[in-house]
Structure 1
Amino acid sequence: MQAITSPVSTNPNRVSLWANLISVYILWGSTYLFIHFMTERMPPLYMVSIRYLIAGSILYGYARLTGTPRPTRLEWRSAGTLGVILLTISNGCLSIGLQYIPSGMAALLGGLLPVFLLTLNWVSFGKKRPSNLALAGLSVGLLGIYLLVKPDKLQSTTGIDAKLIGTGLVAFGNFAWAIGTLLTPRLTLPSAAISSGIQMIVGGIVTLLASLVLEPVNLFSIFDAPAKAIGSMIYLIIFGSIIGFSSYSWLARNAPPQLLSTYAFVNPVVAMLLGTLFAGEVFSSQSFVGAIVALVGVVLITLGRK
C-alpha cells in the first residue's frame, strides 16, 4: 500500500466505512470508563504510556511480519508527529482531566470536537464551508451535548476549581485531536496498521518521558498496579488502541470531516450508559433526551456530508 499523499477519499467502500464508524462509536465510547478504572490508583500519564507502547509494538510487529514494507524516515517523522499530537497531548490531557471530572462528563465534552473539526477545516485546513444541513446537524448535536452535560446530579466531588481544570484539559485535548485529524491526510504516511503502530510507539515514548519527570514513578511501576488497572489496560490495548484507534486512523484517511465528527455525539451516549451501570454516575431523564437529540444531530450531519 502506497503512502498517503493525497486528500481524503470521497468514495470509500460503504461496508468498510460503516464498520469502522461503528467500531469508533461503540469501542471509544467505552474507553472513558476504562481509562478511569485504569488510572484510579495509578498515575495517568504512566499508565497511558505503557498502554500505547504495548499496543504500538503489537501493531508495528504484526504489520512487518505480514509483509508491510519498512517505513521511510519521512513516514516515521510524519506518523510520529501525529502520535505526539493525538496521543501524548490529546489523550494525555484526557487522562489527566479524568482525575478531576467524571468519565461521563469527559465524554460529553467530546462534543466540542465537531466544532473544532468543522471550524478548522473551514477557516484553515480545507477552506471548505460545510453544507447547511451539516451545520444544522452540528447545532442540534451541540444542543444534545448541552442537555447531556447539564443534569445537576452529575457532579464532581472535587469542587468547582477542579472541574474547571478538568474541563479545560479535556477541551484542549479535543482541540489537539482536531488538529491531528485534519493533518492526517496531508502527511506522507505508511499503511494504516504500521502508521498506527508508529504513532503509538512515538506517542508512548514521549508520554513516558513526561511521566518520569512529572509523576512519582519509575520504569517498573507497572508491577505495583492493582489487578483492576491491569485488566482495564488490557481492554484499552485491544479494543481502544488496536481496534478502535486503527478504525479512527482509517476514517481520518477516507471519511470527510463532517462524517468523522459524528462519533463525538455518539461516544457520550455510550459513556453515560456505562458510567451509570458501572461507576454510579446518574443518567437522568434529561440525559436521555439529550442522547436522543445528539443522535438526531448525527443523522443530520451524515445526511449533510458532501
Structure 2
Amino acid sequence: MNAFLYAATVLIWGSTWLAIYFQLGEVPVNVSVFYRFALAAILLLPWLWLTGKLQKADASDHRFMILQGACLFSFNFICFYTATQYVTSGLVAVVFSLATLFNAVNNRFFWKESIPAKVVFAGVVGTSGLVLLFLPELQNSGQNGVSLDTLKGLALACLGTYFFSLGNMVSKRNSLKGLSPITTNAYGMTYGTVILALILLATQQPLVLDTRPEYLGALFYLSVFGSIVGFTTYLTLVARLGANKAAYATVMFPVVALLLSSWFEGYQWQVTSFVGLGLTMLGNVIMNSEGIARYFSKKQVAA
C-alpha cells in the first residue's frame, strides 16, 4: 500500500509543476491559486458530508485546520506559482524536494525529535546539488554576473517549501488527534480558499478567467488530481510513516518535473545539471536510507 501511495504522489505531484506553468499568463497568481482550491473544496467537502465520511472536529481542531489551510493550500502555492514566473517549473520542483531537510528541522523544533548526523550530511549534499542545478540559471551577462530574477525564484521556492513543511507538522498533529487526511484536507482547502479570497479582497484583485483549453485543463488537473488526490495520498503517508519518511516521495519529483520541463519549457540540460540533480537526489536518499533499507528487507522476506 505504501508503495502505491508513493508512486501516485510522485507521478501526480511531479507533473503538477508543469500544469502550474500552463496557468501562467493573464490570470494573476493569487487568482489562479484561488480557483484551484475553491474548485477542490467545492468538490471534496460536500461529497464527504453527503457520504457521511466527514469526521467531526472540535474548535481546537478547526483552528489547526485553518493553519493547515494557510500553510498547505494558500501561502505556499502563492510562493510556488510566483517562483515559476522567474525559473522553470522543474527547478522549482527540485527546491521542493528539500522538504525532507525542512521536515527534519521542524520535527526537532516542534516535536523534539533528534536530528541524526546523516540528516546534516544529507543536507550539505542536497544543497550542493541545488547550487549546481541553479548555476546555469544564475549566470548572467549583466554587470553583477547574477540573475536577480533567478534569485527571486529560488527564494520564493524555498519559502513555499518551508510553508509546506510547516503544514506537514500541523498535519501530523491532526493525525495524532485521530483526524483522517481526507477530512483535514477538505476543511483545510476550504479555509485556504477563504484566506485567498480575503487576500483578493484586500488587494482589490478582480477575478480574471482565462478560457483557453490549456488553462482550464490545468485548473481541473491541479484541483482534482494535484490537490484532492495528491494531498490525500501524501498526507496519508505522513500519517502512516511520519513526515520525514513521507517526504522521501519528493526524491523523484525533480526527475519527472525536469523531464516535462525539458519537453515543454525548453529547459536545457548541462553537465552541472546532471551532477546537481544527482547530488540533490543522493541527499534525499541518504536522509531516508534507513527507511529504504527496511522497505527492501521486507520485500526480500516476503519473497
Which category describes the TM-score, using the shorter chain as reference length? 0.7 to 0.9
- 1:237 corresponds in structure 2 to 223
Matching of residues 215-254 of structure 1 within 5 Å: 216-218=205-207, 221-222=208-209, 224-254=210-240
- Looking at structure 2, the residues matched to 149 and 264 of structure 1 have their Cα atoms a distance apart, in angstroms, of 18
- 1:59 corresponds in structure 2 to 44
SS at match of 1:261: helix
1:190 aligns with 2:172: no
- Looking at structure 2, the residues matched to 121 and 130 of structure 1 have their Cα atoms a distance apart, in angstroms, of 8
- The structural deviation recorded for 1:52 is 0.7
Contact 2:251 2:285 in 1 (8 A): no
Matching of residues 287-298 of structure 1 within 5 Å: 287-298=273-284
- Looking at structure 2, the residues matched to 169 and 289 of structure 1 have their Cα atoms a distance apart, in angstroms, of 23
Contact 1:144 1:293 in 2 (8 A): yes
Q: CA offsets per residue over residues 130-187 of structure 1, 9 Å max, x none?
A: 34445444443333333333235998xxx83333332222211111211121122223
- Looking at structure 1, the residues matched to 54 and 232 of structure 2 have their Cα atoms a distance apart, in angstroms, of 18
- Looking at structure 2, the residues matched to 265 and 213 of structure 1 have their Cα atoms a distance apart, in angstroms, of 37
Amino acid at match of 1:170: A
Contact 1:108 1:268 in 2 (8 A): yes
- The structural deviation recorded for 1:110 is 1.7
- The structural deviation recorded for 1:246 is 0.9
- 1:214 corresponds in structure 2 to 203
Contact 2:64 2:170 in 1 (8 A): no
- Change in 2 beyond 3 A, CA 1:186/1:70: closer
Contact 1:60 1:198 in 2 (8 A): yes
Amino acid at match of 2:114: R
TM-score by length of 2: 0.83
- The structural deviation recorded for 1:189 is 6.2
Name the % identity. 25
- Looking at structure 2, the residues matched to 227 and 69 of structure 1 have their Cα atoms a distance apart, in angstroms, of 33
SS at match of 2:73: helix
SS at match of 1:120: helix
- The structural deviation recorded for 1:232 is 0.8
Matching of residues 113-124 of structure 1 within 5 Å: 113-122=99-108, 124=109
- Looking at structure 2, the residues matched to 117 and 267 of structure 1 have their Cα atoms a distance apart, in angstroms, of 16
Q: 1:83 aligns with which of 48, 69, 90?
A: 69
- 1:3 corresponds in structure 2 to none
Q: 2:96 aligns with which of 110, 114, 128?
A: 110
Q: Structure 1 regions of 5+ residues with no counterpart? A: 1-14
1:68 aligns with 2:53: yes
- Looking at structure 2, the residues matched to 201 and 59 of structure 1 have their Cα atoms a distance apart, in angstroms, of 9
Q: What RMSD in Å do the two structures reach over aligned CA positions?
A: 2.6
Count of equivalent residues: 285
- 2:192 corresponds in structure 1 to 203
- 1:12 corresponds in structure 2 to none
- The structural deviation recorded for 1:82 is 0.4
Contact 1:30 1:271 in 2 (8 A): yes
- 2:301 corresponds in structure 1 to none
Amino acid at match of 2:215: A
TM-score by length of 1: 0.82
